[in-house]
């Protein structure tokens, strides 16, 4: 009885342990079975590109400074109050066109006084000449009357100039590029009020190394690209080329003239002079990444029915990531980039 009772007590515990082990092992088995395998990364397929057909050129760029052919200052030769600004910056003017109008009351009063004095002196001269003929006055009185007329005439002319100066005029024909006064401002004698620029022609300045000096020959035109618009102009004609380099920069100064009758270019503009130092006419070109260099020479992998076929080629120098094909390929054929084995 004792043995039977003990077995009965052990049996439930063993059964529970067996169920726990089965569940535990089942979970582990399920986890192992469900764990995904690491994804395999497919190797990249070789890339083929078409042999192009274009012109290649090695271009060197040099900063250029563009200035007006003539710059003239607008200055007031008298002091006064600005009553009216007659033009705005950007206005095209002719030589002598009015730019500013100054208050002129004092100048007009001075002109009236000078006119009155000269009129009186002239009448006095007439009377003195009449008396001189009769002997009533001598030569001294006549000379004094003439001196008064001459002096009063000089004062009258000066008064007229001062009055005229109260209208500030353009010193040259061109474009008003600067006007730094407004109505109501006071200006001093000889004060700078603005600038007028002759833009029919522009001066182009560029500094270049000796290695490219031969591309800047007097009388020849150089291509010019404006900054920042990027617009390319017909070209500026080289007028001057320095014979010695600048001692600080080691570069040679070039000065050219740009026709600008249509006023397409404003004053004081920056640009780029572009020089083609090496040119290959239109023909087959390949990207540099497609070229292979080996002991057997220069080759590309030509695509034929999906396969890579080594082909020897003769190429020019690399220009902007491409090489001109001199022999061995035709435009339209396809070559591999990278490893096509």
Q: What percent of the chain has pLDDT over 90?
A: 64
Cα–Cα nearest to 178, from 157, 164, 193, 156: 193
Q: Are 187 and 79 in contact (CB under 8 A)?
A: yes
Mean pLDDT lowest for which of 139-143, 228-232, 297-301? Answer: 228-232
pLDDT digits (tens, 9 = 90+) for 37-64: 445 545 556 789 999 999 999 999 999 9
Cα–Cα nearest to 292, from 302, 284, 283: 302
Phi and psi angles of residue 247, each rounded to the nearest 5 degrees, phi first: -65, -25
Confidence class for position 25, pLDDT limits 50, 70, 90:
very low
Question: For residue 74, is pLDDT > 50?
Answer: yes
In angstroms, how far is the first alpha carbon of the chain from the final one? 85
Contacting residues for 259 by C-beta, under 8 A, at least 6 apart: 200, 201, 234
**Checking phi first, is residue 96 left (phi over 0); if not, alpha (psi -120 to 50) or beta?**
left
Q: What is the pLDDT of residue 261?
A: 77
Cα–Cα nearest to 317, from 274, 289, 282, 279: 279
Confidence class for position 4, pLDDT limits 50, 70, 90:
very low
Cα–Cα nearest to 262, from 234, 290, 237: 234
Q: What are the structural domains of the chain?
A: 49-56+280-337 (2.40.420.20), 60-67+197-279 (2.40.30.170), 104-165 (1.10.287)
**Rounded CA gap, 323 and 305, in Å?**
25
DSSP string of 108-130? HHHHHHHHHHHHHHHHHHHHHHH
Q: How far is CA 280 from CA 58, 214, 319, 324, in A?
A: 9, 19, 10, 7
Cis peptide before 232 (omega within 30 of 0): no
Q: What is the pLDDT of residue 324?
A: 96
Q: What is the pLDDT of residue 234?
A: 65
């Amino acid at each position: 009885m004792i043995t039977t009772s003990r077995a009965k007590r052990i049996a439930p515990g063993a059964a529970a342990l067996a169920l726990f082990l089965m569940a535990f092992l089942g979970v582990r088995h399920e986890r192992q079975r469900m764990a995904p395998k690491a994804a395999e990364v497919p190797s990249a397929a070789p890339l083929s590109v078409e042999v192009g057909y274009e012109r290649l050129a090695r271009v060197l760029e040099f900063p250029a400074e563009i200035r007006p052919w003539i710059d003239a200052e607008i200055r007031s030769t008298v002091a006064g109050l600005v009553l009216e600004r007659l033009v705005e910056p950007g206005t095209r003017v002719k030589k002598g066109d009015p730019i500013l109008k100054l208050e002129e009351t004092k100048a007009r009063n001075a002109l009236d006084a000078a006119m009155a004095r000269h009129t009186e002196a002239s009448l006095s001269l007439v009377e003195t000449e009449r008396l001189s003929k009769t002997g009533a006055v001598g030569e001294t009185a006549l000379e004094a009357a003439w001196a008064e007329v001459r002096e009063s005439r000089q004062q009258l002319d000066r008064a007229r100039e001062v009055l005229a100066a109260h209208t500030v005029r353009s010193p040259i024909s061109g474009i008003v590029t600067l006007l730094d006064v407004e109505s109501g401002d006071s200006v001093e004698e000889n004060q700078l009020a603005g600038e007028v620029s002759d833009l029919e022609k522009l001066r182009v300045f560029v500094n270049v190394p000796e290695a490219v000096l031969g591309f800047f020959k007097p009388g020849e035109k150089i291509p010019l690209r404006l900054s920042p618009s990027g617009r390319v102009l017909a070209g500026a004609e080289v007028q001057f080329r320095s014979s010695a380099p600048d001692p600080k920069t080691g570069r040679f100064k070039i000065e050219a003239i740009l026709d600008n009758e249509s006023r397409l270019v404003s004053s004081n503009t920056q640009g780029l002079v572009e020089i083609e130092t090496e040119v290959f006419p239109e023909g087959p070109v390949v990207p540099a990444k497609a070229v292979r260099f080996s002991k057997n020479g220069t080759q590309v992998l030509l695509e034929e029915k999906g396969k890579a076929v080594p082909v020897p080629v003769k190429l020019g120098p690399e220009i902007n990531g491409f090489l001109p094909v001199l022999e061995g390929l035709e435009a339209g054929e396809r070559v591999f980039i990278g490893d096509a084995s």
